[in-house]
Structure 1
Amino acid sequence: MTVEVPKKRITEYSKIAPEDVEELIELTKDLKGLKVVHVNATAYGGGVAELLYTLVPLMEDLGLNAKWEVLEAPNEFYNVTKKFHNALQGAAIDITDEEFKLYEQINMENAKKLDLDADVVIIHDPQPALIPVFKEGNYIWRCHIDTSSPDKDVWERLTQKMKGYYKKALFHLNDYINSPFDNIGIEFPPSIDPLSEKNRTLSKIELSDIINRYSIDVEKPIITVVARFDPWKDLFGAIDVYREIKKVLDVQLLIVSAMAKDDPEGWTFFEDVLRYAGTDKDILFLTDLKGVSHKEVNAIQTISTLGLHTATKEGFGLVISEMMWKGNPVVARPVGGIKLQVDDGINGYLRYDIKQLAEAAIDIIKDSEKRKTFGINAKETVRKKFLTTSHLKRYLKVISEVANETI
């Protein structure tokens, strides 16, 4: 299925990142008309879809023929690929021969029916990773998850099928690059779009409307977690941190999420977290089930006192950069790509233990000057390193390299 994307103009980013825009225009002079196709699992829910909604139209505006294809698959397929996801992040999970056969079959079917006739095809994450086995082309694998210590058996079984079909493999961190991608792996952090509905500056009227709609008490400090309902995000831990803080300060915990199509187990985990939170009126669950979309997430992050992220595994965690872009400090566990974003003691705190996370949050909430300084530093970190324009430059350089190899 081809995803329709909105029109975007690279010149709109000139005020935020003028040097990046100039370099992007120069980079694409020799790439005009080049067809690039992105393939992923879903058009909605999760960071990959959000990235593509910005990157694809900007590639088009720069003169590339950029398209975005999404897999067509039954729920059983996504149950299997969720197991792949967890195994690649280190969980000990057995994937049966039947499950692997279903995985191969869906990849084969999609290789035949998706529009993949292009100069370069970028495959995102494990779900469509075997498409190159069934369709010739110039492929790049873009891995968005933490593969630093994958389940050995699952990793080898998957990557041995992938071996030899990819020209480049892109990972958030060098720590995630494993055999057989040692020679083609590249450190490749993602980005946020500062002009998207999720990150643009909102008016006071827009903020007030959302505050009232969801009965958020702005008189109390607001601790916000933005995360999918996934065991790796440890939302139980986030609630535990809140409860520790609550012993000292009267605060609210906002848990913000969307239910992704490619994550069936998310519903079960959602119910478990709801039960764990109990009837505490200062814990608010704000999801797409209540009409929370990108604008609402933006508003909630904007009015937050700080961001909290308790994931025990995290490929990158774009929600960290989103929160920091709003000028807010973040308290998080030092895992995966979070370590690239949060500079301990500069724009937030990195702690692992529940009580230490709570103490760090209390320190920021109580010290308004520190909170302000951390917030300024947080926004500047994102501006320099994690905006769309920087990400797009990295993509164009890799695309050019792969395309030129075959000319």
Structure 2
Amino acid sequence: MRVKLPIRKINDYNTVAKEEVEELIELSKELKGLKVVHVNATSYGGGVAELLYTLVPLMNDLGLNASWEVLEAPNEFFNVTKKFHNAFQGADIDISDNEFKLFEKVNKDNAEKLNLDADIVIIHDPQPFFMPLFKDGKYIWRCHIDTSNPNFNVWNKITFKAADKYSKALFHLNEYVQEPFKQIAVEFPPSIDPLSDKNKQLSKKVIEEIALKYNIDLNRPIITVVARFDPWKDLKSAIDVYRILKEKVDIQLLIVSAMAKDDPEGWILFEDILRYAGTDPDIHFLTDLKGVGHIEVNAFQTISTVGLHTATKEGFGLVISEMLWKQNPVVARPVGGVKVQVIDGFNGFLRNDIKELADAIYEIITNESLRRQLGKNARKVVKEKFLTTSHLKRYLKVIKEVIS
């Protein structure tokens, strides 16, 4: 299924990254008319979809012929690929022969059904990984997962079967690269869109209206976690951190999430986390089920005193950069891509233990001058490394290399 795309203009980014815009315009001159197709599992929910809603339209504005296709598959397929996702992150999971056959069949069906006639096809994550087996072309694999320590039984069974069909493999960090991709791997961090509804500057009136609608008190400190309901996000630890702090500070905890179509496990975990939180009125569950969209997420991050991220595994965690962009420090566990966004003591704190996480947040909440300095540094880090323009430049360079 082809995704309908919004219109994005590269010149709009002159307000935040003028030099990079000029580089992009120059770099794209040799790629005019080049047909590029992105393929992933869902058009809604999760970081990959958000990235593509910005990157694909901007590729078009730069003169490429870019499009985005989404897999058509039954729920059973997404149950299987969620197991792949967890196994790639190290979970001790077995994949049955029938599950493997379903994965292969859905990939074959989609290779025949989707419009993959292009100069370059960019495959995102494991769900469409086998498609090059059934359709000739030049392929790039974009892995958005922390594969630093995968379950090699599952990893090898999947990756070795189709790896030779790919010209390049893009990973968030070099430490995620495993065989059979070491010869074609590129370190490739993602980005946030500073002009999107989720990251643009909101008026004070809009922010206050959203806070009132969701019963959030702007006069008390706010800890915000933005994460999917996924076992690796460890949201129970976030609640534990809040409960430690609640004994000393009158705080609120916002748990902000979206229910992704390709993650059936998320609904089960959502119910589990709700039960764990109990009836505390200062723990707010803010999801798309309650009408939360990108503007609302923006408002919640903007009004936050501090961001919290308790994930035990994290491919990158763009929600970190989103929070930092709004000049708020982040306290997080030093995992995956989190540790290249949060610089300990500069724009937040990296801690492992629940009590240490709580202590770091307490220090930020009770030291206004520290909080301001961390927040100032926070935006600076994102501007230098993790904006859309930097990400798009990396894509154009890789595409140019594969084509030539």
Cα distance in 2 for residues equivalent to 1:120 and 1:340: 29
Q: Give 1:159-308 correspondences, 5 Å limit.
A: 159-308=159-308
Cα distance in 2 for residues equivalent to 1:355 and 1:90: 26
Instruction: Give the equivalent residue in structure 2 for 1:87.
Output: 87
Which letter does structure 2 place at the counterpart of 1:218? L
C-alpha offsets along residues 216-236 of structure 1, whole Å, 9 cap, x if unaligned? Answer: 011110000000000000000
Aligned residues: 404
Cα distance in 1 for residues equivalent to 2:339 and 2:187: 14
Say which SS state the counterpart of residue 224 (structure 2) adopts. strand
Cα distance in 2 for residues equivalent to 1:252 and 1:155: 41
Deviation at 1:163, TM superposition (A): 2.1
Instruction: Give the TM-score normalised by structure 2.
Output: 1.00
Instruction: Give the equivalent residue in structure 2 for 1:6.
Output: 6
Cα distance in 2 for residues equivalent to 1:171 and 1:251: 37
Instruction: Give the equivalent residue in structure 2 for 1:318.
Output: 318
Deviation at 1:114, TM superposition (A): 0.4
Instruction: Give the equivalent residue in structure 1 for 2:66.
Output: 66
Q: Give 1:82-161 correspondences, 5 Å limit.
A: 82-161=82-161
Instruction: Give the TM-score normalised by structure 1.
Output: 0.99
Cα distance in 2 for residues equivalent to 1:54 and 1:106: 27
Cα distance in 2 for residues equivalent to 1:118 and 1:156: 28
Which letter does structure 2 place at the counterpart of 1:87? A
Ranges in structure 2 where 5+ consecutive residues have no aligned partner: none
Cα distance in 2 for residues equivalent to 1:94 and 1:299: 41
Cα distance in 1 for residues equivalent to 2:152 and 2:46: 26
Deviation at 1:10, TM superposition (A): 0.2
Which letter does structure 2 place at the counterpart of 1:77? F
Cα distance in 1 for residues equivalent to 2:163 and 2:391: 26
Cα distance in 1 for residues equivalent to 2:29 and 2:185: 26
Deviation at 1:161, TM superposition (A): 1.1
Cα distance in 2 for residues equivalent to 1:73 and 1:12: 36
Say which SS state the counterpart of residue 39 (structure 1) adopts. strand
Deviation at 1:344, TM superposition (A): 0.1
Q: Give 1:3-82 correspondences, 5 Å limit.
A: 3-82=3-82
C-alpha offsets along residues 78-98 of structure 1, whole Å, 9 cap, x if unaligned? Answer: 000000000000000011000
Deviation at 1:204, TM superposition (A): 1.1
Which letter does structure 2 place at the counterpart of 1:281? P
Which letter does structure 1 place at the counterpart of 2:393? K
Quick one: percent identity of the two aligned structures? 70
Q: Is 1:376 aligned to 2:387, yes or no?
A: no
Say which SS state the counterpart of residue 314 (structure 1) adopts. coil
Q: Which runs of 4+ in 1 moved over 2 A?
A: none
Cα distance in 2 for residues equivalent to 1:224 and 1:355: 17
Which letter does structure 2 place at the counterpart of 1:206? V
Say which SS state the counterpart of residue 164 (structure 1) adopts. helix
Say which SS state the counterpart of residue 137 (structure 1) adopts. coil
Cα distance in 2 for residues equivalent to 1:350 and 1:177: 24
Cα distance in 2 for residues equivalent to 1:193 and 1:325: 10
Deviation at 1:247, TM superposition (A): 1.4
Cα distance in 2 for residues equivalent to 1:162 and 1:283: 45
Deviation at 1:147, TM superposition (A): 0.3
Cα distance in 1 for residues equivalent to 2:75 and 2:271: 19
Which letter does structure 1 place at the counterpart of 2:311? A
Instruction: Give the equivalent residue in structure 1 for 2:389.
Output: 389
CA RMSD of aligned residues (A): 0.4
Instruction: Give the equivalent residue in structure 2 for 1:363.
Output: 363
Which letter does structure 2 place at the counterpart of 1:255? I
